[in-house]
């Protein structure tokens, strides 16, 4: 039996299993919207598993992502070019879920 989950219940599920601080409030909304888009485009329901989401997705700064994945940003003249280089690297290697208003990038780990 499956039930429809609202964005509020989605966020609550993370809090209820002790993962409320894994992602920002806004990032959880981006992940929810991302999963909704996948469900609509593929016609397949996604099971809500907060632990799996925490293992498969990350929210981080562009600088940390560049460091973690050895993205060369040495030729970037400013922050915008650095962000673009990181987003290009992520888009080539994985799925980018979105970017928060604070500049954090949410993506699927690889």
pLDDT digits (tens, 9 = 90+) for 14-37: 999 999 999 999 999 999 999 999
Gyration radius from the chain CA atoms: 15
User: Which pLDDT score is estimated for 53?
Assistant: 98
The number of residues in the chain equals: 110
Residue 21, Cβ density class (10 Å: 0-12 exposed, 13-18 middle, ≥19 buried): exposed
Query: What's the pLDDT at 1?
Result: 56
Give every residue of the chain whose pLDDT is below 70, as ranges.
1
Strands (E), the chain: 57-60, 96-99, 105-108
Angle at 64 between CA 62 and CA 70, to 5 degrees: 95
pLDDT at 3: 76
């Amino acid at each position: 039996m499956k039930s429809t989950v609202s964005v509020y219940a989605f966020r609550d599920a993370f809090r209820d299993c002790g993962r409320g601080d894994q992602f920002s409030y806004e990032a959880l909304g981006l992940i929810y919207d991302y999963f909704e888009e996948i469900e609509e485009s593929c016609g397949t329901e996604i099971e809500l598993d907060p632990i799996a989401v925490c293992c498969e997705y990350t929210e981080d700064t562009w600088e940390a992502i560049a460091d973690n994945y050895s993205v060369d940003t040495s030729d970037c003249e400013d922050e915008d070019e650095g962000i673009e280089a990181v987003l290009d690297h992520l888009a080539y290697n994985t799925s980018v879920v979105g970017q928060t208003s604070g500049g954090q990038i949410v993506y699927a780990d690889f």
